[in-house]
Structure 1
Amino acid sequence: MTTGLPAVTVGIDFGTLSGRALVVSVADGAELGGAVHEYEHGVVEHALPGGRTLPPDWALQIPQDWRDVLRFAVPRALAAAGVRAEQVVGVATDFTACTVLPTTWDGTPLSELAAYGDRPHAYPKLWRHHAAQPEADLIVARARESGQPWLSRYGGRISSEWQYAKALQVLREDPEVYAAADRWIEAADWIVWQLTGAESRNPCTAGYKGMLQDGSYPDRDYLASLHPDFADLTAKTGHPLSQLGTAAGTLTAAAAELTGLRAGTPVAVGNVDAHVTSAAARALDPGHMLAIMGTSTCHIMNSDVPAEVPGMCGVVRDGVVPGLWGYEAGQSGVGDIFAWAVRTALPHEYAAEARRRGISPHQLLTEKAAGQPVGGHGLVALDWHSGNRSVLVDHHLSGAIVGLTLDTRPEDVYRALIEATAFGTRTIIEAFEQAGVPVAEFTAAGGLLKNAFLMQTYSDVLNRPVNVLASEQGPALGAAIHAAVAAGAYPDIRTASAAMGRLRRAAYSPDPARAAAYDALYAEYRTLHDYFGRGANEVMHRLRALRAPGAAASLEAPGTPGGGS
């Protein structure tokens, strides 16, 4: 580093639709400059770039979009910050998860090979790819039958979003792609491979998404019970883990040329966007829950003891910060649900008013909804448009709105959906506390913080103060904090978080009258939640089965037998 110039780190956050780079001061966490690069292909949901159509519940991505973030966003962030490459002492990345892809031995994505360019299963499966629910169900059934000890660490259920369910779907529906995959790797680790030239694995994705517990993956006999050819999955996923906050390697000459940084700059071990944000929000102490709220919501909390919490996404030793048990829960759709409401239920006159006033449709609907009393719309909704991640762990559930009349207005629906997502978070908190894991403090982060009405609703529904992360780039800031530790600027993540993190405590406080009114509405939500979600009425599953019969068969590789059990 050039003498006299302050040290900085670069955090690179790979999201669902874009990636962003943030330059941060090592001394105090000040955000000096950043840049965003929108993915050219976004989320591939309907058809591959070559035109092959996809059935419902698929969500893929294009690896070149991720490389382009390194190519465009990092140099622009350096320029915006007005810093030189020699000031950068460390780099770190974070990624959505479980976003996972098949590659060759050298890390080449199968989707980039000519032989597999028109094969959907050769592409990275985004976190919100939910087409592997049958595989997830089979994984759980076989685990229960054989008494697998790791199942309790995931609340007794495995999500269709995770590594094993997605890999089993590949094997069952396109065994040729599965056989060609030398590596089945999280994008969080793949992007670090691109930067350092060496494969590495992080304990966060391995533990939460790859079912690694107490140093071991599920054994071969269990995997073979799912499919005879599945016994070798660990050979594709298994790799020595590197502790969070340490360096996975250094930038190669090629990566330095791509990013505009110096070759040899330390690169931190990969991480997940939600989990790395805990460092940015100073939410690393036991009992401090962090909700990262965006298209979906991920709930992260540390504890000094392990416990079995029904329907959580996992409890992993050292999964968030070394030395503590990290818990994860989540909601598969939050911001996505609000976007659905605008996309499908916004009358022309509302859209015209928003344009006339120069505000977004979301702002308009929020403004109209905020003036209502609690329960004034006469509605209660279930926030399962993308299925339920916690506490039911069932992505074949679907959304519902009860109480609709001819007088129901768009803002009524919008408010009911906001409340439903808050009720979903309350359900998760109650599950933790009923399992003996107290939630002492609640902090929110993510893109939805800009909606003050939404945040106040959460405070009222939860009947507790809500802290907020005082940064609009939580994952990138958290990654930059990890980069500082990997570079040796701080001895550990907790020390770096205290110096570089940003938190505004009690930004929202509950109103006693609204909180009491929401208790009654929440009781109705829980009635519907348990009725549709716990087996009393399987109508949501039956409707989904009618929606797209034979969808899996359309993805069979030419000349290969059909998938399925």
Structure 2
Amino acid sequence: MTASATTASATTPSGKTQCVVGVDIGTSSSKGVLVDTDGRVLATATREHDVQRPRAGHVEMDGSIWWDEFVAIVAELLAADEASRAEVAAVGVSGMGPCLLLADENSELLRPAILYGVDTRAGEQIDTLNAELGAEAIIERGGSALSSQAVGPKVRWVADNEPGVFATSRRLYMPSSYLVYRLSGRYVLDQQSASQCTPLYDAEEQAWYQPWWQRICGSIEQPDLHWSDQVVGSVGPEAAAETGLPQGIPVLCGTIDAWSEAISVDAHNVGDLMLMYGTTMFMVNTVADRVSWPTLWGTVGAFEGTRNLAGGMATSGAITGWLRELFGSPDYPTLLQEAASSTPGANGLLMLPYFAGERTPINDPDARGIVAGLTISHTRGDLYRAALEAIAFGVRHNIEVFEQAGGRIDRVVAVGGGTQGELWTQIVSDVTGRPQELRQTSIGASYGMAFLAARAIGGASMADWNPVLRIVEPNAALLDTYDERYRLYRELYASTADIAHSLAATQH
């Protein structure tokens, strides 16, 4: 937990400092912040959790964890020393997504949540829906091709494989919308999250597409759609008693974590590209008009009137965490120091970061991780650097496809836990040739939702909340080295894909 002195923020009639709470449910942890209306972080709290992988390609989580951790986080925030002089005036929530958490008519959960694009179980259903509805028609209506990121095929997977669960399903939640329900009793979903429920959403009309919803979802009720920054309800008496939050304070609709991360660093303007350094790497490019591309996700933005191109890698920080466990769990600063002592190019190592398949831009759930060039002289620092470089090559590949699709990238803004320490962001800038802007506060999605909560009650400005801290400039002397390594990176996938697919088949 961290805390700092209160500032000249707005005060309540009781003389306390007005503040807001933001909470985000992530893949590996849930995070919360208590923030005053000037953007000063008064306290933070974190709860770590694990995903379940019951079979190859299946990635799930018990949805009840989301509410349990929300309650625990809020309790910790309100127990902080600064909280004694603060009064919570609004709450905002976000979470990983798009996810599929099914519940009955009483919102009792029926099965673990099926997570976003890292869960690749619905390949057969993607093929079936493409045949039924038409692959081109799906892209035209929704903005995205069917992929492991899409919700519709996962609903169909449940119908095909767990018919009893599907028959009793009446509601469809994501982490943010489930928390909103538990707080306020409202069954809602934000427009951005809905636009990733391909093929259930009409991106032009910005509404559920009734024929395809009925065909795929059957008796599941449609959540009301709102924008991420809209107040959709208030904290009810049961939620107030359970959480300690004041009854009646506004609850915002919320959104998927990557979009809240972009809000937290003011990276939602046309020409902005947000890089989210987390368990996975996520990228959001704000575009002037609706853009569709077969290997990216065309979505609506977090705010009314905005449009995005988005991409995501299936693994990022997950690889560094896996390596850390293999190495006996040394601390990250030690690993980063050893990686920095390696050379650009990791002393001749080249890695493909497809350890859980890959989402964009190759959309290959059966891709697999590869380390090429290993010798007995290589060190764990070389391996760790190869992982960081592999993720950077994946970012470069995505950026090239963003621009090929018609996206415009004027500014790159980095956010997330992976921005701590300078090496990873520097490698990404060196590989891509792009400067990256780092903001003063890199807490991420929970901070973004706190900002929206503060803006809902008083007109907060992100320029004041989270100013630019520094710019990571690319090292021009490494351009040729990384251009050559990137060429080999692209060739390595092309030349090993058939082998990886054969191995993936044995794993399935």
Q: Could you state the TM-score of these two structures normalised by the residue count of structure 1?
A: 0.82
1:217-254 deviation line (CA, Å, top 9, x unaligned):
4553x67xxxxxx7151652523211221111000001
Q: Tell me the residue number matched to 1:498.
A: 463
Compare 272-281 and 136-145 and name the one that shifted more: 136-145
The structural deviation recorded for 1:99 is 2.3
Does the CA-based 8 Å contact 1:267-1:486 persist in structure 2? no
Does the CA-based 8 Å contact 1:133-1:396 persist in structure 2? no
CA RMSD of aligned residues (A): 2.3
Q: Which amino acid aligns with 1:280?
A: S
Q: Tell me the residue number matched to 1:135.
A: 125
Q: Tell me the residue number matched to 1:382.
A: 352
Q: Which amino acid aligns with 2:432?
A: L
- 1:124 lines up with 2:135 in the alignment: no
Q: Tell me the residue number matched to 2:274.
A: 290
Q: Tell me the residue number matched to 2:342.
A: 372
| 1-structure distance, mates of 2:356, 2:411 | 27
SS at match of 2:245: coil
The structural deviation recorded for 1:3 is 4.2
1:43 to 48, 51, 54: 51
Does the CA-based 8 Å contact 1:90-1:484 persist in structure 2? yes
Does the CA-based 8 Å contact 1:251-1:264 persist in structure 2? yes
Count of residue pairs brought into register by the alignment: 493
Q: Tell me the residue number matched to 1:258.
A: 242
Does the CA-based 8 Å contact 1:202-1:244 persist in structure 2? yes
Q: Tell me the residue number matched to 1:244.
A: 228
- 1:32 lines up with 2:42 in the alignment: yes
Does the CA-based 8 Å contact 1:130-1:395 persist in structure 2? yes
Alignment of 1:102-501 (within 5 A): 102-110=102-110, 122-127=111-116, 128-144=118-134, 147-150=137-140, 153-154=143-144, 157-211=145-199, 212=201, 213-214=203-204, 215-218=206-209, 220=211, 231=215, 233=217, 235-236=219-220, 238-316=222-300, 319-344=301-326, 346=327, 351=328, 360-375=330-345, 377-487=347-457, 489-490=458-459, 496-501=461-466
Q: Which amino acid aligns with 1:371?
A: S
| 2-structure distance, mates of 1:145, 1:269 | 31
Alignment of 1:54-93 (within 5 A): 54-80=54-80, 82-83=82-83, 87-93=87-93
| 2-structure distance, mates of 1:545, 1:326 | 34
1:17 to 9, 23, 28: 28
2:487 to 509, 519, 523: 523
Q: Which amino acid aligns with 2:224?
A: P
| 2-structure distance, mates of 1:333, 1:95 | 17
| 1-structure distance, mates of 2:262, 2:299 | 15
| 2-structure distance, mates of 1:208, 1:76 | 33
| 2-structure distance, mates of 1:432, 1:146 | 19
1:126-176 deviation line (CA, Å, top 9, x unaligned):
33333223323433454445733536722xx32224311221111111111
Q: Tell me the residue number matched to 1:117.
A: none
Note closer, same or farther for the CA distance 1:239–1:165 as it changes in structure 2 (3 Å cut). same
The structural deviation recorded for 1:405 is 2.6
| 1-structure distance, mates of 2:483, 2:61 | 41
The structural deviation recorded for 1:376 is 5.2
Q: Whose strand proportion is higher, 1 or 2?
A: 2
SS at match of 1:170: helix
1:506-526 deviation line (CA, Å, top 9, x unaligned):
1x1111111221111111112
Does the CA-based 8 Å contact 1:484-1:496 persist in structure 2? no
| 2-structure distance, mates of 1:192, 1:69 | 14
Does the CA-based 8 Å contact 1:23-1:31 persist in structure 2? yes
| 2-structure distance, mates of 1:479, 1:234 | 33
SS at match of 2:47: strand
SS at match of 2:154: helix
**Between the two proteins, what is the percent identity of the paired residues?**
25
Q: Tell me the residue number matched to 1:546.
A: 506
Does the CA-based 8 Å contact 2:192-2:299 persist in structure 1? no
Q: Could you state the TM-score of these two structures normalised by the residue count of structure 2?
A: 0.91
Q: Which sections of structure 1, spanning at least 5 residues, go unmatched?
A: 46-53, 111-121, 224-229, 355-359, 549-565
| 1-structure distance, mates of 2:363, 2:345 | 28
The structural deviation recorded for 1:93 is 0.4
| 1-structure distance, mates of 2:318, 2:139 | 35
Does the CA-based 8 Å contact 1:368-1:411 persist in structure 2? yes
| 2-structure distance, mates of 1:11, 1:260 | 14
Q: Which amino acid aligns with 2:22?
A: G
Q: Which sections of structure 2, spanning at least 5 residues, go unmatched?
A: 1-11
1:524-560 deviation line (CA, Å, top 9, x unaligned):
112223445xxxx533222211223xxxxxxxxxxxx
The structural deviation recorded for 1:456 is 0.9
| 2-structure distance, mates of 1:333, 1:466 | 21
